[in-house]
Amino acid sequence: MIVKVVNKSKHQLPEYQTESSAGLDLRANIEDKITLKPLQRALVPTGLFMELAQGHEAQIRPRSGLAYKHGITVLNSPGTIDADYRGEIKILLVNLSEEEFVIEDGERVAQMVIAKHEQIQWLPVDTLEDSTRSAGGFGSTGKK
């Protein structure tokens, strides 16, 4: 799929790191380093603007390496980029570790997955078709 993009960052366009990667790694586009203290959050700019086709969204997800090694994750994960959004793509990072973490310009801090989605129309009714699960949830299966 071809996606129009305006790259106002100092960096190359996000790339798939391997042949079958689902996510495009997103780079921080910042003038000065950002230091995240424990439990601090920051909205990290990417310098990227894009135009997705209707029926598509972009999901901003954490990178597992940063999460595992440094406790850095995407606070609103998965962040949702709507197809009609024309603003700058930004990444909301939070530091869940007990150590400071420094974000460098150009660092790959998150990844973006493009996905198809539906938009629905409601059909208001009084009752729903029953099912085997019925209203069971939140650990209801496998119990006696």
Ligand X SMILES: O=c1ccn([C@H]2C[C@H](O)[C@@H](COP(=O)(O)OP(=O)(O)OP(=O)(O)O)O2)c(=O)[nH]1
In the complex, the residues that contact ligand X under the rule CB under 6 A are 60, 76, 79-82, 85, 89-90, 92
The residue among 27 and 90 lying less far from ligand X, judged by its C-beta, is 90
Helical segments of the chain, H only: 64-70
Amino acid at 11: H
Structure tokens at 124: 């208001």
Provide Rg for the chain, Cα atoms.
19
46 phi, psi to nearest 5 deg: -115, -15
In this structure, what DSSP letter does residue 127 have? Answer: -
The residue among 89 and 101 lying less far from ligand X, judged by its C-beta, is 89
Binding-site sequence positions: 63-65, 76, 80-82
Q: How far is the CB of 57 from ligand X (least distance, A)?
A: 8
Q: How far is the CB of 58 from ligand X (least distance, A)?
A: 8
Q: How far is the CB of 34 from ligand X (least distance, A)?
A: 16
